[in-house]
Amino acid sequence: MAATQQYVYPDRDEIRIEAVLAALADPVRLDMVRQLADAGSEISCSGFDVAVTKSTLTHHLRTLREAGIIMGRQQGTARYNSLRRNDLDELFPGLLQGVLAARR
């Protein structure tokens, strides 16, 4: 049986504004965050509506995860991602709201 990959997420006090802003600077990742915010819940890795390859999607998810923007959970063979809105709002009040309000 294959081992399930363990992902590391930064604790709230380890999230840095520089990493968050760098992650959100990419249009694909920003769109993924908007999709999560609009959904108001989780989205599976395959549920994102982005025109990138699977390996590129994996890269974008890793960048968002390592920056502390998303959290994920495994359910069977699917991985579900959610926005760490509470953490981001507490650390950087108004940032996420402002970024999401600045529509395309």
Going from N- to C-terminal start, the domains of the chain cover 15-101
Handedness of CA 37, 40, 45, 47 (dihedral sign): negative
Whole-number Cα distances in Å, 82 to 1, 85, 95, 104 = 27, 9, 17, 22
| Closest among 34, 48, 18, 32 to 96, alpha carbons compared | 34
Q: Please identify every stretch of the chain with a pLDDT value under 50, giving residue numbers as ranges.
A: 1-3
The pair of structure tokens assigned to 33 is: 């965050």
β-partners of residue 75 are 78
The pTM score is 0.89
CATH topology (fold) of 15-101:
Arc Repressor Mutant, subunit A (1.10.10)
Residue 66 and residue 9: Cα distance in Å, rounded?
A: 6
How confident is the model at residue 6, as a pLDDT? 73
